Amino acid sequence: MKPFAYDSPTDAVTAVRAVADDPSAVFLAGGTNLVDHLKLGIARPGRVVDVTGLTSTEITESDGGLSIGAGVRNSDLAADPRVRSRYPVLAESLLAGASGQLRNMATTGGNPLQRTRCVYFQDVTTPCNKRTPGSGCSAIGGYTRYHAILGASEHCVATHPSDMAVALAALGASVRVLGPDGERTIPFTELHRLPGDSPEKDTVLGHGELITAIDLPAPPGGRQRYRKVRDRASYAFALVSVAAVLDVADGTIRDARVAFGGVAHKPWRAWQAEDALRGARVSDAVFREAAEAELAQAEPVPGTEFKVPLLTRTLVSVLRELT
């Protein structure tokens, strides 16, 4: 681990300035991902700016929805009665993620910024365009069980690992950000980016921009579900996951919101599947067509082919459960 300077400022504006002024600086919140990266040599910051306690740890009512401070721990968010009753898809996604110990440390602001678990990204002795731009993608032609089928590029087939982020994408959340030039708000679905030819950039955040809160709009109508398919019953990343909100009246789908996890460089809002569902009569055939509409653009690499039928079947299964 490379030695680094450690700052623990007492307010967010100072923290943002500290990072913005130092190209080698990073924010530290729960540390469940960054500390690993420090040990593994993936992250080699010159300065670590601790933001624990600088952003809100409260969940507050806001315009019919909820505003979640960036410092709220994942386990507290999952246990909040308002989240559990109005946004069960979010609570379920949180509880499907990581382990109890990690959820006690991980934060609302940090969780969506965790980096891919691609085994080649995690190992500094192997080439990785996300870690070292231009070095190549070792996953292509290698071990791809947890890799992308949607929106990947020849430079990177990594997936985003967060479960919480998939639910937030489905719920139409937005992200409040404090940067050196002030505040801005980003729709959650636009926070993460696809790899393209610069996979080293996970999000649209600039250097020094700090997530201060995540806002949830008023709860959508209908029923919600997060379903994570993984290789063991707990403490495993998703092979595929589905966050779905389905509003059905008299057998007709009034509204649908669907997002996928474990299949793309970002939590994947399934707009085309939603279009196919909206206004249709509920049936397995309709659900399958919705999945196929979205997955027509799937481009599996060797080792990920199974995810296309798996995701199709999982979506059908979840939607069936919600009707």
Partner 1 sequence: MTAIGEPLVRRDGARKVTGSATYAYETPADAPLFCHPVQATVARGRISAIHTAEAEVLDGVLDVITYRTAERLASTEDAELALLQDREVAFRGQVIGLVVAETSEIARHGAELVVVDYLEHEHDTELSAERDDLYKPEKVNPAFPADTGTGDVDAAMASADVTVEQTYRTAMYHNNPLEPHATTALWDDDFLTLWDSTQGVHPSRKAVAKVFGLPAERVRVVCPFVGGGFGSKGLPHANVVLAAMAARAHPGRPVKLALTRQQMFSLAGYRTPTIQKMRLGATRDGELTALGLDVVEQTSRIKEFAEQTALPSRMMYAAPNRRTTHRLAALDVPVPSWMRAPGECPGMFGPEVAMDELAYELGLDPVELRVRNEPEVDPESGNPFSSRHLVECLREGARRFGWDSRDPRPGVRLEDGWLVGTGVAASVYPSSTRAGTTARVRFSQGRYAVEIGAADLGTGAWTVLPQIAADALDVPVEEIDIRIGDTDYPVAAVAGGSAGTATWGSAIVEAARTFRDKFGRDPADGDEADATTTDNPARKKYAMYAFGAQFAEARVHADTGEIRVPRLLGVFAAGRIINPRTARSQFLGGMTMGLSMALHEESVWDPRFGQVVNHDLAEYHVSVNADVDDIQAHWLDEEDAHVNALGAKGIGEIGIVGTAAAVVNAVFHATGVRVRELPVTLDKVLPALP
Q: Which of 61, 55, 44 is nearest to 15 (CA)?
A: 55
For 4-44, the DSSP string reads: -EEE--SSHHHHHHHHHT-TTEEEESS-TTHHHHHHHTS--
Nearer to partner 1, 98 or 168 (CB): 98
Nearer to partner 1, 41 or 64 (CB): 41
Q: Which of 30, 28, 27, 29 is nearest to 101 (CA)?
A: 30
Binding range to partner 1, per CB under 8 A, among 21-29, 179-187, 263-271, 309-317: 309-317
> Which of 9, 88, 133, 142 is in the footprint of partner 1 by CB under 8 A?
142
**Dihedral sign for Cα atoms in the order 117, 51, 4, 195:** positive
Which amino acid appears at position 16 of this protein?
V
Binding range to partner 1, per CB under 8 A, among 22-30, 82-90, 103-111, 119-127: 119-127
* Residues near partner 1 (CB under 8 A), total: 34
Q: Which of 124, 323, 145, 162 is nearest to 241 (CA)?
A: 162
Asked if residue 100 binds partner 1 (CB under 8 A), the reply is no
Asked if residue 310 binds partner 1 (CB under 8 A), the reply is yes
Write phi, then psi, for 288 (nearest 5 degrees).
Answer: -65, -40
Binding range to partner 1, per CB under 8 A, among 70-78, 89-97, 104-112, 137-145: 137-145
Q: Which helix (H) or strand (E) holds 210?
A: strand 210-216
Per-residue binder mask for partner 1 (CB under 8 A), 1-30, x = binder = xxx---------------------------
Q: State the nearest-atom distance from the C-beta of 182 to partner 1, in Å.
A: 38
Near partner 1 in 180-239, by CB under 8 A: 229-237, 239
Nearer to partner 1, 84 or 117 (CB): 117
Binding range to partner 1, per CB under 8 A, among 78-86, 136-144, 148-156, 180-188: 136-144
> Which of 27, 120, 188, 260 is in the footprint of partner 1 by CB under 8 A?
120
Binding range to partner 1, per CB under 8 A, among 59-67, 75-83, 106-114, 121-129: 121-129
**Dihedral sign for Cα atoms in the order 102, 104, 108, 109:** negative
Query: Could you tell me which residues are beta bridge partners of residue 68?
Result: 59, 214
**Percent helix, strand, coil in the chain (nearest 5)?**
30, 25, 45
Binding range to partner 1, per CB under 8 A, among 17-25, 106-114, 142-150, 275-283: 142-150
Nearer to partner 1, 197 or 284 (CB): 284
Please give the span between the terminal C-alpha atoms of the chain, in angstroms, as a whole number. 52
The count of other CB atoms within 10 Å of the CB of residue 70 is 27
CA 253, chain centre distance (Å): 26
Near partner 1 in 268-307, by CB under 8 A: 306
Per-residue binder mask for partner 1 (CB under 8 A), 39-58, x = binder = x-x-----------------
For 53-96, the DSSP string reads: TTS---EEEETTEEEEETT-BHHHHHH-HHHHHH-HHHHHHHHH
Asked if residue 82 binds partner 1 (CB under 8 A), the reply is no
CA distances to 17, 144, 257 from 140, rounded to whole Å, are 39, 7, 31
Nearer to partner 1, 6 or 235 (CB): 235
Asked if residue 313 binds partner 1 (CB under 8 A), the reply is yes
Instruction: List residues binding partner 1 (CB under 8 A).
Output: 1-3, 39, 41, 117, 119-120, 122-123, 125-126, 138, 141-143, 145, 229-237, 239, 306, 309-310, 313-314, 316-317
